[in-house]
Amino acid sequence: MTVSVLAQNLSGSEIIKIAGEINELKRQGQDIANLTIGDFDANIYPIPKQLKEGIVEAYHANQTNYPPADGMLNLRESVSEFLKDRYDLDYNANQILISGGSRPLIYSAYLAVVDPGDRVVFPVPSWNNNHYCDLTGAEAVIIQTHPEHNFMPAADDIRPHIKGAALLALCSPLNPTGTMFTRKDLEEICDLVIAENKSRAAGEKPLYLLYDQIYSQLTFGSHEHVNPVSLRPELKDYVIFVDGASKCFAATGVRVGWGFGPANIITNMKAIVGHMGAWSPKAEQVAMAKFLKQENEVNSYLTGIKTNLQNSLNTLHEGFQQLKAEGFNVDSIAPMGAIYLTVKVDYAGKTTPDGDLLKTSADINFYLIKEAKVALVPFSAFGTEDDVNWFRVSVGASTLDDIKGLAPRISEALAKLK
């Protein structure tokens, strides 16, 4: 049986492949530290109590029918207030779209502004832009980033590729690295977008900027989240934001995301999300609308989750830095935001105790799964080449005690390589 060209050429998720290996080993009774999934263990990081109670109350009140296609008005109004309070961004309810998490927002943004054959510029590593290009028939213009710049793109990296592009897709704090734009770097990129749009002829499609800030409430220490519209207000007509409750409230399964941007783009995204049926459940919307207005409860929850995440990330970073000091060919970048630590395990070319040669980052990862009982995600799953031996480590599904035990296991496994 034949299938569409799209179906034939759409690549699968590398993370799902790794998960298959982990699940098989767990089936065999092995205890694997799974640091692969960008999610939370709800027993370690439950959603806010008030939000949970609000969801239950909404179901008891029979809030179970279709919500409006663009989301409940009271939720869009609550999000509008939240954006003003947290970022000093002014977006009214008709510039906000609610969907079942952030994925439909990203996909609908692509569909709303990108035609088949249009060029989409994005850095790697990054999450899923390659797949969204495949789904929309776009030409992916990939920018390689480097550890010296925290795997974040700079204006000079983007400059050669931006002419005539339809979309520039950026994310900060970044999945998979947990690193962030500095104010200066993002300002320079914004100025590129402004200059490019000024150079286009009347009636020509503008360059839009997709800005994924789903992790923006999870930042640590002195690291400050910045966004294009606050830095350059004249970009407001060209920036499509992706945000939501999934990460900041550990509510990945609650499925409440919000996108916001130019009203005409949001209106078209609404129609696309409606045809996909990718609405957020009504009861969850009702509860979220109430919860976002409870400023003290929101602040208390964010303080707690950020403290716990930062403790885990710092502990893991310190463990890798200790391994580095001991002479292991590893490294890590100090945590800035999100739930991820970027680590290097550069053992390509080494031989395992079984005589197998480690050729790629995937080989290194599967060796660690087998020998150290630790599972990471190589950056190759996020678009980089196989010889980039850097990895994403997610701490959302691990306790601090779990994290403390990882470095010795990794040390023992790496010491066996020849």
Where in the sequence of the chain do the CATH 3.40.640.10 domains occur?
A: 49-294
Q: Is the pLDDT of residue 13 over 80?
A: no
Q: Which of 53, 41, 125, 95 is nearest to 266 (CA)?
A: 95
pLDDT score of 99 more than 80: yes
pLDDT of residue 27: 85
Give rounded-to-5 percent helix, strand, coil for the chain.
45, 15, 40
> Which residue is listed with tokens 């969801």?
55
**pLDDT score for 175:** 97
* Rounded distance between C-alpha atoms, residue 185 and residue 192, angstroms: 11
User: Which phi and psi (to 5°) does residue 210 adopt?
Assistant: -90, 120
- Tokens, residue 404: 């403390």
| Average pLDDT, integer, range 63-80 | 98
Q: Does the 49-294 domain belong in CATH 3.40.640.10? A: yes
35: confidence class by pLDDT, cuts 50, 70, 90? very high
Residue pair 155/188 in contact (Cβ under 8 Å)? The answer is: yes
Helix (H, G, I), strand (E, B) or coil at 105: helix
Rounded Cα distance between 266 and 274, Å, is: 12
Q: State what percent of residues in the chain have pLDDT above 90.
A: 92
Mean pLDDT of 291-302: 98
Per-residue pLDDT reduced to its tens digit, 303-348: 999 999 999 999 999 999 999 999 999 999 999 999 999 999 999 9
pLDDT surpassing 90 at residue 15: no
Sheet strands side by side (includes 239-244): 96-99, 257-260, 239-244, 208-212, 167-171, 119-124, 139-144
7 SS3 class: helix
Domain with residues 5-45+299-415, CATH architecture: Alpha-Beta Complex (3.90)
Residue pair 179/333 in contact (Cβ under 8 Å)? The answer is yes
**Domain span(s) for CATH 3.90.1150.10 in the chain:** 5-45+299-415
* pLDDT for 21: 79
Q: What pLDDT does residue 22 have?
A: 84
- Model confidence pLDDT, tens digit, residues 230-243: 999 999 999 999 99
pLDDT, residue 65, reads 97
Alpha helices in 115-182 (DSSP H): 129-136, 155-158
Q: What is the pTM of this model?
A: 0.96
